[in-house]
């Protein structure tokens, strides 16, 4: 029997949790009462027609969670496409920012890792267009046995020059699992999308790690799509997810010009809520006296024209 390759983090940081840890978390969760009625606001108007017509401007539209529609150089790209109405036992809290059927034809899809809240094959099956999928090493087989042929696997710091754009897969500190036996048999990371005029860093899912400083030394980054949620309880999540305060520290290390928070308010995956994540982000932002113009908190379905 062929031994499956298992991928690891920088410095071999271990994200594994024991059954005892899981039981302790579940006991703690029973004692917490969270208000899930405070939802992330939906954009009052959607720019769907403008997005369909766009052939030149760079735009970023938040669909929800870690899903963005990104347009650069006349191309339509999606990060971690998930339109699922449920995630496990949890119902989706907010409707997707753009209905799946109203997306423009998609050229490229970028997957950060294989967790179900970042990779939903039911969504992928319904994406308009005939996209090419850029995925972490080890994840390509999950696409190919489903019949997808335009799949490119990537190891950390692999770069691809396509249609005058450069796509680079960069490290993250995380893990992945879709079945009982495939833990860490594919990798995880973020994607940097560069055009001659713009650069966007989709961080993916990650804990705080030295990789941010390493990435900042290799790339000049303008817009950072940064996860800020699913951090509580912190003793359980700290290796795998950023707190809002850590997200700000990472952004400072990346030397970016615009921060767009993500990975909050769509699914209740951990014990924190979307409103708590944003409140902590705002409090730390103010404590550090950072410029408000740099932080772009998108509403669901809102488009930032870069």
| Tens of pLDDT, residues 237-286 | 999 999 999 999 999 999 999 999 999 999 999 999 999 999 999 999 99
Q: Among 1.10.3720.10, 1.10.260.40, 3.40.50.2000, 3.60.15.10, name the CATH number for the domain at 42-305.
A: 3.60.15.10
The answer to whether 40 touches 34, Cβ cutoff 8 Å, is: no
pLDDT in tens, 40-99: 999 999 999 999 999 999 999 999 999 999 999 999 999 999 999 999 888 999 999 999
Structure tokens that stand for 215 in this block: 């990435």
What does the pLDDT read at residue 34? Answer: 85
The SS3 assignment for 67 reads strand
Helix or strand or coil: residue 125?
Answer: helix
**CB-based contact 174:205 (threshold 8 Å):** yes
**Residue 35 confidence (pLDDT):** 85
- Show me where the domains of the chain are located: 42-305
Percent of the chain with pLDDT over 90: 92
CB 195 within 8 A of CB 169: no
Give the whole-angstrom CA distance, residue 135 versus residue 152.
Answer: 6
Q: How far is CA 136 from CA 124, 143, 217, in A?
A: 16, 11, 22
pLDDT of residue 88: 86
Residue 16 CB neighbour total at 10 angstroms: 9
**Predicted structure pTM score:** 0.96
Q: Are 65 and 277 in contact (CB under 8 A)?
A: no
pLDDT, residue 89, reads: 83
User: In this predicted model, what pLDDT tens digit does every residue of 193-213 receive, in sequence order?
Assistant: 999 999 999 999 999 999 999
């Amino acid at each position: 029997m062929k031994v499956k390759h298992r991928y690891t983090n920088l410095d071999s940081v271990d994200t594994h949790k024991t059954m005892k840890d899981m039981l302790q978390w579940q006991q703690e969760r029973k004692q917490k009462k969270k208000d899930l009625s405070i939802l992330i606001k939906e954009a009052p108007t959607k720019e769907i027609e403008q997005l369909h017509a766009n052939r030149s401007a760079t735009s970023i539209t938040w669909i929800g969670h870690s899903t963005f529609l990104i347009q650069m150089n006349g191309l339509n790209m999606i990060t971690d496409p998930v339109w699922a109405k449920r995630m496990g036992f949890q119902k989706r809290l907010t409707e997707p920012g753009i209905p799946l059927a109203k997306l423009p034809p998609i050229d490229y899809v970028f997957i950060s890792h294989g967790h179900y809240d970042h990779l939903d094959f039911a969504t992928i099956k319904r994406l308009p267009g005939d996209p090419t999928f850029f995925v972490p090493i080890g994840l390509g087989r999950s696409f190919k046995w489903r019949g997808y042929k335009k799949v490119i696997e990537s190891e950390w710091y692999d770069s691809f020059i396509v249609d005058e754009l450069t796509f680079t897969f960069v490290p993250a500190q995380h893990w992945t699992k879709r079945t009982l036996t495939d833990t860490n048999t594919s990798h995880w990371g973020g994607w940097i999308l560069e055009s001659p005029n713009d650069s966007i860093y989709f961080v993916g899912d990650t804990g705080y790690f030295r990789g941010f400083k390493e990435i900042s030394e290799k790339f000049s980054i303008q817009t950072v799509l940064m996860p800020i949620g699913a951090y509580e309880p912190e003793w359980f999540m700290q290796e795998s997810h950023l707190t809002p305060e850590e997200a700000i520290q990472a952004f400072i290390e990346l030397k970016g010009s615009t921060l767009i928070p993500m990975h909050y308010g769509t699914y209740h995956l951990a014990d924190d809520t979307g409103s708590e994540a944003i409140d902590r982000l705002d409090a730390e932002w103010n404590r550090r006296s950072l410029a408000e113009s740099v932080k772009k908190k998108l509403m669901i379905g809102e488009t930032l024209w870069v």
